[in-house]
Copies of this chain bind each other. A is one copy, B any other.
Amino acid sequence: MASEFGKKLKISVFGESHGAAVGAYISGLPAGEHVDEAELYRFMERRAPGKNKLSTARTEADRPVFLSGVKDGIIEGTPICAVIYNSDQHSSDYSKLSDLPRPGHADLTAWLKWHGSADMRGGGHFSGRLTAPLCIAGGIAKQILARKGIFVGAHLASVGTASDKPFPLCPSPKLFEELAQKSFPVIDDSAGEEMQKQILAAREARDSVGGVIECAAVGLPAGLGEPMFDGVENRLAAAIFGIPGVKGLEFGSGFAGSERRGSENNDPITLSGDRFVTETNNAGGILGGITNGMPLTLRVAMKPTPSIAKEQNTVSLSRREPAKLEITGRHDPCIAHRAVPVVEAVTAAVILDMILECEY
């Protein structure tokens, strides 16, 4: 269904960038769990814009209002509707977009699909702003998972051609926490500086740049996931490709693994105490769609922000003729670093969904 994922824990997102609000309908969160709102805001702050010159200057008061399902910080068991009212809208920045679809955006596809009915100002329902409600749901999911000893963390693996170190074989919750507190979420800060240079260089060139996010989850039970089309990979993939700008996804050794031999890529099985573990983790913690108890690892490719100041070729929808477009207004030269908590949020939501299917 449009704008919705999950089975036992279902998250349905709504809103337009320049409409009255964005928000999420969330059902299936376990009754009685506490929502630590301060922690939730800190988590949401990580994706918020306007923090530095790497991001758009637009500021948002992204405080969610719970219209239902949460009372006095406790999850009731009934469906949750969480809303973030829109306040800071500069629609005039986008006024020319309605007739000139931005290359790399959903402007044209939404117009072709809905014949112009959708309010596409600021990207409309396809705006990165829709990731804020994902962070509400995912931020709560992260809190509940942590109480079960399951931790989800992510870092910016690369920006353009600059790369961070990969996660170690078994990343610790402490590492995740350190990354969460950094303003630029990388393991190796010197690599982070190079990435920031590439972002600023793109900005100066009135351009943008893409990146890759690596995400991991530790503490997962073995045996999670159903065979073939309802495995952990399938469910995560269906959700992660819903994050605006994602164009690639790999688990474990992924594309690199396809260049290897089996003897290099197979993870030898051994024992750690009484537990079966693997010596390497090229499987990313999943075999046959089912967790093996090793860390779940995945990498997400984010395309460069399509909104760039440079002049681009497009068309006039009304006149059906070629046109030139220069996008003004505030735009991120890179969204990959702001997408780090979003990938965590979606990963956490999918994992909690699958945990709740097995355990009540």
Contact surface of A with B, Cβ cutoff 8 Å: 1-5, 7-8, 10, 12-16, 19-23, 25, 27-28, 31-32, 65-69, 71, 74-81, 83, 101, 103-106, 108-110, 112-115, 117-119, 124-126, 130, 158, 160-161, 202, 205, 207-212, 222-223, 225-231, 233-235, 237-242, 244, 246-255, 257-271, 274, 276, 278-279, 282-284, 286-293, 301-308, 310, 312-315, 320-322, 336, 357-360
Q: How far is the CB of A6 from chain B (nearest CB, A)?
A: 9
Asked if residues A108 and B292 are in contact (CB atoms below 8 Å), the reply is yes
Given A19-B68, A290-B113: A304 touches B357 (CB 8 Å cut-off):
no
- How far apart sit A25 and B133, CA to CA, in the bound complex (Å)? 14
Given A12-B27, A227-B126: A291 touches B249 (CB 8 Å cut-off):
no
Asked if residues B210 and A260 are in contact (CB atoms below 8 Å), the reply is yes
Asked if residues B113 and A160 are in contact (CB atoms below 8 Å), the reply is no
Q: What residues of chain B lie closer than 8 Å to A242, measured between beta carbons? A: 228-229, 231, 234, 289
Asked if residues A106 and B241 are in contact (CB atoms below 8 Å), the reply is no
Q: List 5 A-B contacts (CB under 8 A).
A: A4-B27, A125-B227, A234-B241, A248-B250, A248-B257
> In the complex this chain forms, how many copies of it are found?
4
> Can you name the residue of chain B whose Cβ is closest to the Cβ of A123?
B288
Asked if residues A8 and B117 are in contact (CB atoms below 8 Å), the reply is no
Given A20-B66, A258-B211, A263-B308: A287 touches B104 (CB 8 Å cut-off):
yes
Asked if residues A108 and B227 are in contact (CB atoms below 8 Å), the reply is no
- How far apart sit A239 and B158, CA to CA, in the bound complex (Å)? 28
Asked if residues B3 and A230 are in contact (CB atoms below 8 Å), the reply is yes
Asked if residues A126 and B288 are in contact (CB atoms below 8 Å), the reply is yes
> Can you name the residue of chain B whose Cβ is closest to the Cβ of A12?
B25
Asked if residues B5 and A1 are in contact (CB atoms below 8 Å), the reply is no
Asked if residues A227 and B19 are in contact (CB atoms below 8 Å), the reply is no
Q: Which of B205, B240, B257 contacts A247 (CB 8 A)?
A: B257
Asked if residues A263 and B310 are in contact (CB atoms below 8 Å), the reply is yes
Asked if residues A118 and B27 are in contact (CB atoms below 8 Å), the reply is no
> Can you name the residue of chain B whose Cβ is closest to the Cβ of A10?
B1
